[in-house]
Structure 1
Amino acid sequence: MNKFMEFLENILLPIADKLNNNRYLSALRDGFMVALPLIIFGSIFVVIANFPFLDKWISEDAFAAYQEALGPASAATLSIMGLFVIVGIGYKLTERYELEAIYGGVVALAAFLILTPQVLEGVSGVIPTASLGAQGMFLGIITAFASAELYRFFVKKDWTIKMPPGVPGAVAKSFSALIPITLTLSVFLIIRILFSLTSFETVQNFIYTIIQEPLTNLGSGLIATLIAVLLIQVFWFFGLHGQIIVNSVFDPIWYTLNDENLKAFQAGLELPNVVTKQFIDTFLVGMGGSGMTLAVVILIFLIGKSRQTKELGKLGGPAGIFNVNEPIIFGLPIIMNPLILIPWIVAPVVITIITYFSMSMGLVPKPAGIIVPWTTPPLLSGFLATGNAWQGAALQLFNLLVVMVIWWPFLKILDKNYYENEKKGEASN
């Protein structure tokens, strides 16, 4: 095992160093870290507002009032998290060029808003919240990179307004940024106009179409499910909300299969489908969130030595029980972290195969079509999703152990790296 870990360190650590020194990947990672406190705040209140079966314990009106009262916490953070990430990326990339970073952040935000359609259900001047959140993340990241580079280009060309001596510094900086910002935003306005003349109409529609079309041809079944799971993990690794992107295409298929199982279950007939919406939500996502990161939290408590991972475990543990794993995704981090790419990709694929064949062979009942709240903790969710069958909970427990085995050597390396860096920091002080 030690030789295997040394091999992984020799292969992965040099790659990690190169990626960490890449200005775009660094800005991407740091941009997400800017949004992390807001994401954690929103995640906490998502769990509180969607506590499993609370709607069964209190009246419908009381539950609606309860959710309405807590709703702004996530609506003002998680729902529009894309805005914070965009500002963070623009800020960090411009800062890396040793320019006035705040202008890099705001020009990235303005450029993204220029490209974003401001029409909702026929009403103009209204920006759909979905466009500002995870769904708009892909366009936002591209826009942040491009706007920061354009702003830098125009500043380096010295196309700026020079103010005379004696003018307050804040005023001088504002006028100095005026022409570069104007030219940068004009480029994005032209892009928006050009797309409005095409059949796509908007940049968002163009991106959605080129992602959607290859996915819609996949259909259903094990192979299609494995491809969908792989895409979810890959998108998340690059900072995109993989579930929203992939589910937007596969959900109609998965929900249809789910309904077929529910009707058969209610009629006492054999369940026709293994892969359904609850197959994904309960036995993959419902194990601590995307990538089944509840296993990672447990491992942190078992083998973690560094303060960083220990504190992250304390922070991500309570949320992870209810399948909210943004603290782990953005805090470990998982995004753009080559040290954990292998377990992040491999573990969900292995669990998909195990779950599929366990159900197709009759060892575990197929999902009964019952929609279990996504915040329901593991084991309980597996029990309910399979029609109150203990085998569903047992399968979740087995899957959790498998994920822990896959993650163990990689998390050990990451934790060791953090621990050694902390020791060096203490020694230098």
Structure 2
Amino acid sequence: MNKFMEVLENVLMPIADKLNNNRYLTALRNGFMVALPLIIFGSIFVVIANLPFLDKVLSESALESYKNALDPASAATLSIMGLFVIIGIGYKMVEQRGGESIYGGVVAIGALLVLTPQVLDGTGGVIPTSAIGAQGMFLGIFSAFIAAELYQYFVNKKLTIKMPAGVPDAVSRSFSALIPIAFTLTIFLVIRIIFSYTPFDTVQNFIYTIIQEPLTVLGSGLPATIVAVLLIQIFWFFGLHGQIIINSVLDPIWFTLNDQNLAAYQAGEELPNIVTKQFIDTFIVGIGGSGMTLAVLIAIFVVAKSRQNRELGKLGIGSGIFNVNEPVIFGLPIIMNPMVVIPWLLAPVVVAIVTYFAMATGFAPRPAGVIVPWTTPALISGFLATGNNIMGSVMQLINMAIVFVIWVPFIKVIDKQYYESEKNAA
């Protein structure tokens, strides 16, 4: 066991540290955080628009009018979520360098729009929502990274217009950003022109064909999901926020898969993907936090005799219901505790496998693409994430039972040590 932990520490810790401090992944993570309130807003109205039994209460025409009235909420947020993420990434990239962060967001979205061909529909040019939604996410992310770097490079080279004293500050800053933005967008225009002479025709087609589509297929599979879940647990074991590290890398893939399911759900079609953002967030992390520790707290209440564990259970259960599990992480403890490494690593992986096959066989519904706030308690979140399907809650209940069974023997061993220690101290 000690040798195993030593290998993990020597191999994974340097990698995790670099990922955690990488400025591009940090900007990517923070960019998604900027978009999150809008994504959740749109998801809430998807749930409201698809409440169960509405077709029994409303006439067909009334139901259609009801949905049409609420559809703009998701169309203006979820359908173009890439737009908000890209603005957030550009903003955060320039903010990290101490520059005028608002222009980082502006130049990022400008770069994407320069690369995105407009479609003529008889009334003029229009930009397809797919280009600024999940499908265009990868191009948007790369565009935001490059545009923000170019903009800040030109600023650092003093390629700016200096206005005389007395000019209002807002006007001065606007002119200061003029040349860096112009140079940056000119480079993107040249890139667009070059790609128009290639078989791909557009940068969007190139990114989607060469990068996004293969990564999305890979990320939707069970093996990649198991690796991701296992890495989250390993990083947490060594005191690093595994979820943030892994989400920084895989969120673009998981959100793309999520968006595909949402489009199918709204169209009344079969949901194409099992693994999505909500597969991870609702059926694994969303059951008490990373490691699914709500079931661990229940195990403590059931079997613990030591005062330390029983107090930990009382302290952690309130926050655990809302998927905040720091009391368990640091109180049991889990970090660097060889007594819990086996259930800590094993339970979420088993749950991921069981949930995947339950959804693949139709026993449980697949995530509908609705983004459920991460603090939503288990059972409720499963119901909402699967499009108001009670079997989503049942799946979460089964997952909790799996974690409970895996953890109970280890909780008994740990609790026996604590109990004996307390008796000796008394």
Describe the shift of the 1:310–1:280 C-alpha distance in structure 2 as closer, same or farther (beyond 3 A). farther
Instruction: Please list the CA deviations of residues 266-298 of structure 1 after superposition, one character each: whole Å capped at 9, or x if unmatched.
Output: xxxxxxxxxxx56955xx66xx93226244333
Conservation of the 8 A alpha-carbon contact between 1:82 and 1:137:
yes
Residue 254 of structure 2 corresponds to which residue in structure 1?
A: 242
Q: Which amino acid aligns with 1:240?
A: P
2:287 partner SS = helix
* 1:177-256 correspondence to structure 2 within 5 Å: 177-211=177-211, 226=222, 237-242=249-254, 244=256
* 1:236-315 correspondence to structure 2 within 5 Å: 237-242=249-254, 244=256, 281=274, 289-291=278-280, 293-300=282-289, 302=294, 303=297, 314=322
Alpha-carbon deviation of 1:230? Answer: 6.8
Residue 154 of structure 1 corresponds to which residue in structure 2?
A: 154
Range 155-164 or range 117-126, more displaced: 117-126
In 2, Cα distance between equivalents of 1:353 and 1:125: 42
In 2, Cα distance between equivalents of 1:61 and 1:169: 55
Conservation of the 8 A alpha-carbon contact between 1:291 and 1:348:
no
In 1, Cα distance between equivalents of 2:316 and 2:84: 23
Conservation of the 8 A alpha-carbon contact between 1:139 and 1:204:
yes
Alpha-carbon deviation of 1:402? Answer: 3.8
Q: Which amino acid aligns with 2:118?
A: Q
Alpha-carbon deviation of 1:15? Answer: 5.0
1:299 partner SS = coil
Describe the shift of the 1:372–1:395 C-alpha distance in structure 2 as closer, same or farther (beyond 3 A). closer
Conservation of the 8 A alpha-carbon contact between 2:347 and 2:406:
no
In 1, Cα distance between equivalents of 2:358 and 2:349: 14
Conservation of the 8 A alpha-carbon contact between 2:283 and 2:382:
no
* 1:28-43 correspondence to structure 2 within 5 Å: 28-43=28-43
Conservation of the 8 A alpha-carbon contact between 1:135 and 1:241:
no
Alpha-carbon deviation of 1:117? Answer: 2.1
Instruction: Please list the CA deviations of residues 60-114 of structure 1 after superposition, one character each: whole Å capped at 9, or x if unmatched.
Output: 1111111111112222122211111111111111011111111111010111111
Q: Which amino acid aligns with 2:280?
A: G
Q: Which amino acid aligns with 2:353?
A: V
In 2, Cα distance between equivalents of 1:181 and 1:297: 42
Q: CA RMSD in A?
A: 5.1
Describe the shift of the 1:238–1:115 C-alpha distance in structure 2 as closer, same or farther (beyond 3 A). same
Describe the shift of the 1:175–1:52 C-alpha distance in structure 2 as closer, same or farther (beyond 3 A). same
Conservation of the 8 A alpha-carbon contact between 1:90 and 1:145:
yes
* Count of residue pairs the alignment pairs up: 337
Identity %: 53
Instruction: Please list the CA deviations of residues 21-40 of structure 1 after superposition, one character each: whole Å capped at 9, or x if unmatched.
Output: 22111111111111122122
Residue 81 of structure 1 corresponds to which residue in structure 2?
A: 81
1:108 aligns with 2:104: no
* 1:30-179 correspondence to structure 2 within 5 Å: 30-119=30-119, 124-179=124-179
Conservation of the 8 A alpha-carbon contact between 1:299 and 1:404:
no
Instruction: Please list the CA deviations of residues 157-210 of structure 1 after superposition, one character each: whole Å capped at 9, or x if unmatched.
Output: 111112122222211111111111000000111111111111211111112222
Describe the shift of the 1:343–1:10 C-alpha distance in structure 2 as closer, same or farther (beyond 3 A). farther
In 2, Cα distance between equivalents of 1:94 and 1:84: 16
Describe the shift of the 1:50–1:379 C-alpha distance in structure 2 as closer, same or farther (beyond 3 A). closer
1:197 partner SS = coil
1:351 aligns with 2:354: yes
Instruction: Please list the CA deviations of residues 329-352 of structure 1 after superposition, one character each: whole Å capped at 9, or x if unmatched.
Output: xxxxxxxxxxxxx88994675226
Alpha-carbon deviation of 1:372? Answer: 10
In 1, Cα distance between equivalents of 2:40 and 2:67: 18
In 2, Cα distance between equivalents of 1:74 and 1:155: 37
Instruction: Please list the CA deviations of residues 219-251 of structure 1 after superposition, one character each: whole Å capped at 9, or x if unmatched.
Output: xxxxx95368679998984321436459979x9
Describe the shift of the 1:401–1:239 C-alpha distance in structure 2 as closer, same or farther (beyond 3 A). same
Conservation of the 8 A alpha-carbon contact between 1:343 and 1:407:
no
Describe the shift of the 1:279–1:197 C-alpha distance in structure 2 as closer, same or farther (beyond 3 A). closer
Conservation of the 8 A alpha-carbon contact between 1:296 and 1:407:
no
Describe the shift of the 1:381–1:129 C-alpha distance in structure 2 as closer, same or farther (beyond 3 A). closer
Conservation of the 8 A alpha-carbon contact between 2:200 and 2:206:
yes
Residue 303 of structure 2 corresponds to which residue in structure 1?
A: none
Q: Which amino acid aligns with 2:174?
A: S
In 2, Cα distance between equivalents of 1:164 and 1:212: 47
In 1, Cα distance between equivalents of 2:25 and 2:216: 30
In 1, Cα distance between equivalents of 2:407 and 2:10: 18
Q: Which amino acid aligns with 1:293?
A: T
Unpaired stretches in structure 2, ≥5 consecutive residues: 230-245, 298-311, 325-344, 371-379, 409-426
Unpaired stretches in structure 1, ≥5 consecutive residues: 219-223, 253-258, 260-276, 317-341, 360-365, 409-429
Q: TM-score, normalised by structure 2?
A: 0.62
Conservation of the 8 A alpha-carbon contact between 2:278 and 2:385:
no
Residue 334 of structure 1 corresponds to which residue in structure 2?
A: none
Conservation of the 8 A alpha-carbon contact between 2:134 and 2:256:
yes
